[in-house]
Structure 1
Amino acid sequence: MRRRRGPAQHKPAQHRPAQRGSAQRRPAQRRPAQRRPPEPRGHWLLVAIAALLMAGALLLNAYAHNVVGETKPPPADYGDSAELERIRSGGPLVNVSGARPLSARPKPRTVALTFDDGPDPRWTPRLLDLLREHHAKATFFVLGAHVAEHPELARRLVAEGHEIGNHTYTHADLGAVPAWRARVEMSLTQKTLAAAAGIHTRLARMPYSSVPGAAGYGQLAAMRLLGDEGYLVTFTDVDTSDWSRPPADEMVLASLARTVDGEGAVIMFHDSGGDRTRTLAAVDRLLTRLEKKGYAATTLTDAVGLPTAHTAASPGERVLGTVLTFAQRASFALVEALGWFLAVAGALTLLRSALFAALAWAHARRTRGRPATSGVPQWAAAPPVSVIVPAYNEKAGIEATVRSLVRTDYPGQVEVVVVDDGSTDGTGPIAASLGLPGVRVIRQPNAGKPAALATGIAHAAHDVLVMVDGDTVFEPPTIGHLVRPLADRTVGAVSGNTKVGNRRGLIGRWQHIEYVVGFNLDRRAFDLLGCMATVPGAIGAFRREAVASAGGVSADTLAEDTDLTMAICRRGWRVVYEERARAWTEAPASLGQLWRQRYRWCYGTLQAIWKHRGAIVERRPFGRRCLGYLALFQVMLPLLAPVVDVMALYGLLVGDPLPVVAVWAGFVALQALTGWYALRLDGERASVLWALPLQQFVYRQLMYLVVIQSVATAVLGARLRWHTVRREGTFAMAGPAVAKPAAGRPAVRRGRTVRGANAPRRRSRP
């Protein structure tokens, strides 16, 4: 898994294979240092701006739909004053802009039908058709947010001669909100009307208001504010309470009660906010009865004998209203798109988990309970193996690595070729001073890991090549398990099972879970699907012929192992996974080190995907399966992963948190179930899963930020330098080699690395 290069990333000169058995040194030639564009930094500003825009869009959408700043129906509002008494005893249309409130009533045998909370795309058009059938006019007190969503309905209202009033932008109780919020509510609605129909209105109706006799102190303060803004405040004579869906005949009788003596009346209905079937029926019957009684149904201002409430909006107001309308509709579209994305991403995640679990089960069933030699062709005799160890500044772990390779129980000949790639910490001398049989140390100027591997291959004496990182240790049976599938002539490479050795801390446990679930479980599926993307640098076996057919180890990418694996697959070789071939590696011990490693891995994977993009159109399915999977699940979904967190926070802060918590708990449970199965397949303890929920709050964000950084680096054309990771010497502290583990059990137990075979043994507790 580990890919290492020295401080300077130079493309090495191509190496030609040496005669096998030759001890001639062929150090890689260093190319002159070249200046390259610096790694990008400004894209984080773009990411921050995008996040702010998304947050603004979500807040605007929440505000427009009365989620943010929502006001509930007010409590009973009482109080007595001379001003209130004049309002309560007066008519339903009130002017409070002067010293004393003035009110007006509809003319005799005149009814002003008013409709609140619209326009609604379903009910308002049906209501307009009904009014046209009866040759009636009405006044619609609209919500600005609804006008912004359906401006064509506002235009139709004006075109058909109806009147529009201001009912706030989000149906906020003006008596309960600060004065600035009340002004904003009214102003935003005027702007949307300006954009939709080119008008302003002088009529206003406060949400949760009713008849004048119900007015209280809270509404009086709001009425004064509206009066100062130039509005005529509208109450009603008859509140049909159609929002509670009473029978249509009951609403008709309540309305007709005001017309017994030929009086005029203002009657309130609603054309939005729920099922308005009964409202339509009541309006139809009411208009029919009023026509028979000789009543006229008209607009509010016409009913009281005033000029129209509409005034022409200025061009500036129309422009501002257009911007507001566009912003609200864009925010609604964004939220809807994000909702669809979350649904699709969730479905893909569930499908992937189910499919990969099924494939892993099939892979495990194929090997479960069978001897290690079963199911694969057998060599006539164990072939000799060359183990290549590229090492750059691996002083902390090189001894443990080399000793573990020498102490293999593989029956054939094993040579270990350590390539010291210009280390400055004495890595090469340490390896040479061990004096172990079959170990050669080749030193060369620093030229990068691909060049070190090429040097090792050139000096390797055998056709079966095993590559291992300088911070990784093998179990004694590992080489045998790793080499055995190569007996099948169609197999060009074998991926081993990489395990995390330093898993005591939280970061180590997170990586342990990721290695078992995200890497090894996936490789079981890739084995069956024939689309292995990577034979990890920490443990892999190759047929020399396959490596040569792929053009050798290339320095074109930072993920030389992924690049080489893809090239081998494209040449028609099979790449398989052998879970019994275990290697213990040292994972980064800090978030900073983890970032550096994963940044390099992700960027290198992007380079490999781009380099091998032509595989998509090739006859073999490898390119479509492998590159398609990587592009979707390792690039696209991680790039959009911040949306999940943003939407989750949005739901927690402005909506009902229970669905968010339920979905989060469901996905954590799914991950835990998948993790439990993966750990079971690998013979690991499931107790580590306690760290899985915490992974959602730090580790997951780190991983998708790595993808964002990598994609930005690639898009901007900057060349990433090789990021080295500091080694802690995990295996050196535990012993120079690892002991053979018990059957079916890992070599690391209870968070501790098992001590080496030649280190002092301790009696374990029963």
Structure 2
Amino acid sequence: MTSTGSGRTRPPPPGRSPRRRPRPPVARTAASTPSGPRGHWFLFAVGMLLVAAALTLDGYVTDVVGETRPAPPAGVPSAESAEIRRGGPVVNITGGRPTSVRPPGRTVALTFDDGPDPAWTPQVLDELARHGAKATFFVVGSKVARHPELARRIVAEGHELGNHTFSHADLTQVPGWRLRLESSLTQRALAGATGLHTTLARPPYSGPTRAITAPQWAGMKELAAEGHLIVLTDLDAEDGSDLDLPAKGAGAVVTMRGTRLAVDLVLEDLEGRGYRAVTVTEAIGMPSAHRRAGGVDRFLGSALNLAQRASETFVDVLRWAMFTAGALTLGRFGFFIVLAAVHAHRTRGGTRPKGPGRGWSGPPPVTVIVPAYNEAAGIQATIRSLVATSYPGDVEILVVDDGSTDGTADLAAGFPGVRVIRRPNGGKSAALNTGIAHASHELLVLLDGDTVFERATIGRLVRRLADPAVGAVSGNTKVGNRRGAIGRWQHIEYVIGFNLDRRAFELLDCMATVPGAVGAFRRSALEALGGVSADTLAEDTDLTMALCRAGWRVVYEENAVAWTEAPASLGQLWKQRYRWCYGTLQAMWKHRHAVVERNPFGRRCLGYLSLFHVLLPLLAPVVDLMAVYSIAVDDPLPVVAAWAGFVLVQMAIGWYALLLDGERASALWILPLQQFVYRQLMYLVVIQSLVTALLGVRLRWHGVRREGTFNGQGGTPVLAAAQTGRRSATTGR
């Protein structure tokens, strides 16, 4: 290890060298890529296919078509069915010439449609048993799949099952393949639930034979081609008071649509007139409509029924997850907006120290440490901003070159008054520890090699350390390269998602992260922790949590502004956020015992991170999924309205956050577009990171390519602000 520059090399003072962790440091390599599992993307794709299948099945059963659909308008009578319209309600179209039949005198084929239903079907069965009557139940296949036990009870008690389609589809409005599918699926559902098929069918929305229209006749012929005997009706009995049976004791097919009381009244009326209530096949003297299903059909039917119930449960879970995600998002916005407003009010009230502080006779000396690995694109701009600081005290600048191969150290050594320490590549944590060991002063300011400070930033960071209870200060990181869509999205995220949260974290005394781009620390606090740990890829989060657990306050100084170069491409952004998210999960796991400590930091910080940095991103895909699902199978207007309302809330919060940060509200024009690309990228990063962590894969550090945003741009507004200082939006300082 060597030191170059105008400052002399000196060994670390006795007792001040940080303790080394037994875990080897994580080296940084510019070309390295995530070493996480590749196979989890295959599993993700399989999972998405299963989700699509579940939503498709549930949509087919419940929303694409269903019982809430209005009955079709009256159509033109079919000439082909003229003879049938004058005949009985049981129609056979399987032969060359259609025929129909009516139950004999004093015989009623009692039928029920649209079940089985868990509320009324058991009551109807009880009432039929009490009267010793039998009936035919024309069941909907999807309801059989949902309540197979009721279908089995119907058969066990001697009643008959008929096919009423799978989703109660209007057969006059669907193509032939759909009609055949409706019939086939219902047969499969019956086979899975009861082991039986049925030869009886009744089209939904059908009536008596005299009302057959041409479209209905075409649908009936399709059902007949599937091997069904068509059963229509003579009359509907809504309750027991309007049962108008045919004259002279003629038989009839009666459809019941009433309650248990109505069934009781109808059966008592039939018994009083000398009628018997039987199944359709018994009424017309045919063998039972039930046929034993084959083993393959029973297996496929059981699988269909199970899949439908699973899909319905899954969709219910998704709906609850969507509600939870919405509640968490709105709750987080509201809670943190209030806390940010309180923080801003306190800041304007001048409660923060403006001078050197108690025990300081003047501005205390400060050591600025810049760990750098292959930062040739931006290191000169970083050092120029440090040299141009307006801080009146002594400022020592240390650049720790962590084995760079692009000449970073030589570029840094060209600045007078800057000490450059060269060391083999060992990772950012090792570079920081080297800088801490060589620092001359108690107060340390740490920043990355791609970051530019404003002139007043060092002073604004240091003054918060005037409070002896404060162990670290987080500055305000801003995106410098915000011209493209990706840069603008990150700019909005930094202001709303990072800096707005830090205002609340200071009030709650649970700061999660002092960013590596801009932070100030007490050297004694870091040494007491054994230096910066290499246990995680998010060394800044790990260090901040350790400081809070040790009893130090960590505060936020929004006027200590640092400009950073954000990733300029989606690939680079993915790499950076993957490392951040994975490292944060590591830090959360490492400090998990903080939740049971007396210090409330663990419960507040880890609880917040668990809810909003882990759970909410995991639920976020549900919102998109259910939005697409609802648009596909339902009225899209409520979805669009909910989305627009959510964006408006975000816009309002973004406006306030930008106002607090002294930024232009015009940046919000791109926020709605963030919902279609950027947000999905962020939650996919969390999913990948969580899967990687659960599989126990240790991710390597992977760097982000630097574009040199601040080099050679002295005339840009960004560097102008960095060189001349920036007026605070909240305090005017």
Give secondary structure in 2 for the equivalent of 1:487: coil
Residues 525-546 of structure 1 deviation map (CA, whole Å, 9 limit, x = unaligned): 1111111111100000000111
**Per-residue Cα deviation, 1:692-726 (whole angstroms, up to 9, x for no partner):** 11100000011011112222222333332222212
After superposition, the Cα gap between the structure-2 partners of 1:262 and 1:86, relative to the gap in structure 1 and judged at 3 Å, is: same
Task: Report deviation, 1:73.
Answer: 3.8
Structure 2 equivalent of residue 314 of structure 1: 294
Q: Counterpart in 2 of 1:417?
A: 398
Give me the TM-score of the superposition, normalised by structure 1.
0.87
Structure 1 residues 59, 362: closer, same or farther in 2, change over 3 A?
same
Counterpart among 552, 574, 577 of residue 556 in structure 2: 577
Are the aligned partners of 1:96 and 1:227 in contact in 2 as well (CA < 8 Å)?
yes
Q: Superposition pairs for residues 527-542 of structure 1, below 5 Å?
A: 527-542=506-521
Change (3 A) 1:632 1:745: closer
Q: Is the aligned partner of 1:353 residue 2:333? A: yes
Contact 1:367 1:375 in 2 (8 A): no
Which residue number corresponds to residue 249 of structure 2?
Answer: 262
The alpha-carbon deviation at position 38 of structure 1 amounts to: 4.0
Contact 2:479 2:563 in 1 (8 A): yes
2:673 aligned residue: 694
Q: Of the candidates 167, 172, 179, which is equivalent to residue 170 of structure 1?
A: 167
Of the three residues 52, 74, 77, the one matched with 1:76 is 74
Aligned to 1:19, which of 13, 20, 37?
13
Distance of 2:473 and 2:670 partners within structure 1: 31
Residue from 561, 574, 593 that aligns with 1:614: 593
Identify the match of residue 151 of structure 1 among 132, 148, 151: 148
1:340 corresponds, among 320, 335, 351, to: 320
User: Which of 472, 478, 482 is the matching residue for 2:451?
Assistant: 472
Matched residue of 1:65: which SS? helix
Deviations 1:428-472 (A, max 9, x none): 22222132xx32112222222112111111111101010011111
**Residue 68 and residue 292 in structure 1: after superposition, are their counterparts in 2 closer, same or farther (change >3 A)?**
closer
Could you tell me how far apart the structure 1 residues matched to 2:40 and 2:25 are? 33
Q: Measure how far apart 1:139 and its partner are.
A: 1.4
Give the match for residue 5 of structure 2: none
TM-superposed CA distance for 1:224, in Å, is 2.9
For the residues of structure 2 that align with 1:679 and 1:332, how far apart are their CA atoms?
43
Of stretches 181-190 and 699-708 in structure 1, the one that deviates more from structure 2 is 181-190
Deviation at 1:377, TM superposition (A): 4.8
Q: Which amino acid aligns with 1:637?
A: L
1:186 maps to 2:170: no
Q: What's the CA shift string for 1:133-155, capped at 9, x where partnerless?
A: 43332211100001111112112
- 2:425 is aligned to 446
1:116–1:167 contact (8 Å) kept in structure 2: yes
**Aligned AA (2:269):** R
Corresponding residue number in structure 1 for 2:385: 404
AA of the residue aligned to 1:433: G
Aligned residues: 707
Q: 1:129 aligns with which of 126, 151, 156?
A: 126
Give the conservation status (yes or no) of the 8 Å contact 2:28–2:701: no
Which structure 1 residue ranges, 5 or more long, are not aligned? 1-15, 23-28, 243-247, 271-275, 747-766
After TM superposition, the structure 1 stretch with the greater mean CA deviation from structure 2, 407-416 or 375-384, is: 375-384
Per the alignment, residue 99 of structure 1 pairs with 96
Aligned pair partner of 1:61 in 55, 58, 66:
58
Counterpart code for 2:413? A
Alignment match, 1:11: none
- Equivalent residue number for residue 701 of structure 2: 722
Given the superposition, is the C-alpha separation of residues 484 and 17 from structure 1 closer, same or farther in structure 2, using an over 3 Å criterion? farther
SS at match of 2:702: coil
Q: Distance between the aligned counterparts of 1:104 and 1:397, measured in 2? A: 91
Q: Which residue of 1 aligns with 2:728?
A: 744
1:118 and 2:94 are equivalent in the alignment: no
Alignment partner of 1:658 is 2:652: no
2:233 and 2:253 in contact (8 A); partners too? yes
Q: For 1:159-238, what aligned pairs fall within 5 Å after superposition?
A: 159-238=156-235
Equivalent residue of 2:81, what SS? helix
Contact 1:136 1:297 in 2 (8 A): yes
Which stretch has the larger CA shift, 72-81 or 419-428? 72-81
Answer with 556-565 or 371-380: which moved more. Answer: 371-380
The equivalent of 2:309 in structure 1 is 329
2-side partners of 1:30 and 1:344: how far apart? 40
Identity rate of aligned residues, in percent?
64
Residue 289 of structure 2 aligns with an amino acid whose one-letter code is A
Q: Over the residues paired in the alignment, what is the CA RMSD in angstroms?
A: 2.7
1:367-407 superposed Cα distances (whole Å, 9 cap, x missing partner): 11427635995433221000001112222221221111122
- Looking at structure 2, the residues matched to 518 and 476 of structure 1 have their Cα atoms a distance apart, in angstroms, of 25
> Which secondary structure state, in structure 2, belongs to the residue aligned with residue 704 of structure 1?
helix
- Name the amino acid aligned to 1:325: N
Quote the residue 2:475 is aligned against: 496
Looking at structure 2, the residues matched to 133 and 663 of structure 1 have their Cα atoms a distance apart, in angstroms, of 52
Pick from 509, 518, 529: which aligns with 2:497?
Answer: 518
Letter in 1 for 2:280: L
Code of the aligned partner of 1:344:
T
Deviation at 1:741, TM superposition (A): 4.0
Question: Secondary structure at the residue paired with 1:502?
Answer: coil
**Counterparts of 2:208 and 2:711 in 1: how far apart (Å)?**
85
Whole-Å Cα distance in 2 between the matches of residues 311 and 492 of structure 1?
80
- Separation in 1 of the partners of 2:619 and 2:27? 40
Deviations 1:322-342 (A, max 9, x none): 111110000011011111111
Q: Which amino acid aligns with 1:301?
A: T
1:41 corresponds, among 17, 25, 38, to 38
- Residue in 2 aligned with 1:602? 581
Looking at structure 2, the residues matched to 518 and 601 of structure 1 have their Cα atoms a distance apart, in angstroms, of 14
Is residue 429–residue 532 contact of structure 2 (8 Å, CA) maintained in 1? Answer: yes
CA contact (8 A) 2:662 2:729 kept: yes
- Report the counterpart of residue 539 of structure 2 in structure 1: 560
**Structure 1 residue 63, shift from structure 2 partner:** 1.0
CA deviation map 1:477-506 (0-9, x unaligned): 111110112122221111111111111221
Q: Which residue of 1 aligns with 2:347?
A: 367
Alpha carbons of 1:147 and 1:21: their partners in 2 closer, same or farther (altered >3 Å)? Answer: closer
Equivalent position SS for 1:731: coil
User: Which sits farther off after the overlay, 163-172 or 207-216?
Assistant: 207-216
Aligned to 1:395: 376
CA distance in 2, matches of 1:178, 1:434: 79
1:523 & 1:102 partners in 2: Cα distance? 80
Distance 2:310 2:488 in 1: 43
Q: 1:31 deviation in Å? A: 10
- CA pair 100-692 structure 1, distance change in 2 beyond 3 A: same
SS in structure 2 of the partner of residue 733 of structure 1: coil
What letter corresponds to residue 221 of structure 1 in structure 2?
A
